């Protein structure tokens, strides 16, 4: 009798555990069903709005795109799946390379910004802005005919500039400018001028001046 009671109690305990398990499963099923119903209720307006917008957008492009076009594009994408994979691999490789190069580019950018700031402080950009103003004045001051004549005589002009920029010519011009600035202009008598003609330097200068006048007269 005791053995039968123990067996009966064991079966009742097992049945109780199964009922508890089934009850928990039922509660979980009910909770999942409630969550799904809530999600469905939340997504239904969104899906309806998406469907409405999709229909509206398709109506706008209906005259340009047909269903056959979409199918043809889909087939083409399927035929080029490997090419797309290769392209994605290249993008991934480029991304990895960019991760390696990015620190270098940042350093180069900072160096460039520092160099530009230094040039700004030294006045390079102010000089360029002034040069652009000068270029504007030059462009607006010359006609097309002037530019054509300038092009025809540019070689002669450059040769003349080259001769004018020789060290001895530039030294003479610099000394002349200093002399004109430093020596005051005085009333010199005719006898004073005659006395200056005895100066060898004055004689050499007068001779060069006469040669210049002769060259101008010949041309």
- The domain locations on the chain are 2-99
- What percent of the chain stands above pLDDT 70? 92
Question: Model's pTM, two decimal places?
Answer: 0.30
203 Cβ neighbours under 8 A, 6+ residues apart = 197
Give the mean pLDDT of 156-171: 80
Helix extents (H) in the chain: 2-61, 67-79, 81-122, 124-141, 144-152, 154-164, 167-182, 190-196, 200-218
* 119, 125 Cβ separation under 8 angstroms: yes
Per residue in 110-120, pLDDT (tens digit) is: 888 888 888 88
> Is the confidence at residue 81, as pLDDT, over 80?
yes
> Is the confidence at residue 193, as pLDDT, over 80?
no
Dist. CA 202–CA 169, nearest whole Å: 17
CA distances from 75 to 62, 65, 86, 144 (A): 20, 16, 18, 61
Give the mean pLDDT of 66-89: 83
pLDDT at residue 217, rounded to an integer: 76
pLDDT at residue 92, rounded to an integer: 85
Dist. CA 173–CA 181, nearest whole Å: 12
Quick one: three-class SS letters along 130-178?
HHHHHHHHHHHHCCHHHHHHHHHCHHHHHHHHHHHCCHHHHHHHHHHHH
């Amino acid at each position: 009798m005791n053995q039968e009671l123990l067996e009966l109690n064991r079966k009742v305990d097992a049945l109780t555990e199964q009922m508890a398990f089934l009850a928990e499963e039922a509660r979980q099923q009910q909770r999942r069903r409630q969550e799904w119903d809530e999600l469905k209720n939340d997504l239904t307006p969104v899906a309806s709005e998406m469907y409405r917008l999709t229909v509206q957008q398709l109506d706008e492009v209906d005259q340009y795109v047909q269903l056959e076009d979409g199918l043809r594009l889909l087939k083409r994408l399927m035929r080029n799946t490997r090419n797309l994979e290769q392209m994605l691999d290249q993008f991934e490789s480029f991304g990895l390379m960019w991760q390696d190069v990015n620190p270098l580019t940042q350093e180069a950018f900072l160096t460039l910004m520092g160099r530009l700031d230094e040039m700004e402080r030294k006045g390079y950009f102010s000089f360029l802005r002034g040069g652009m103003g000068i270029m504007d004045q030059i462009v607006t001051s010359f006609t097309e005919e002037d530019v054509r004549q300038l092009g025809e005589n540019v070689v002669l002009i450059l040769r003349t500039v080259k001769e004018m920029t020789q060290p001895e010519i530039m030294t003479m011009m610099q000394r002349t400018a200093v002399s004109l600035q430093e020596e005051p202009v005085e009333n010199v008598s005719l006898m004073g001028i005659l006395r200056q003609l005895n100066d060898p330097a004055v004689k050499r200068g007068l001779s060069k001046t006469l040669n210049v006048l002769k060259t101008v007269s010949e041309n």
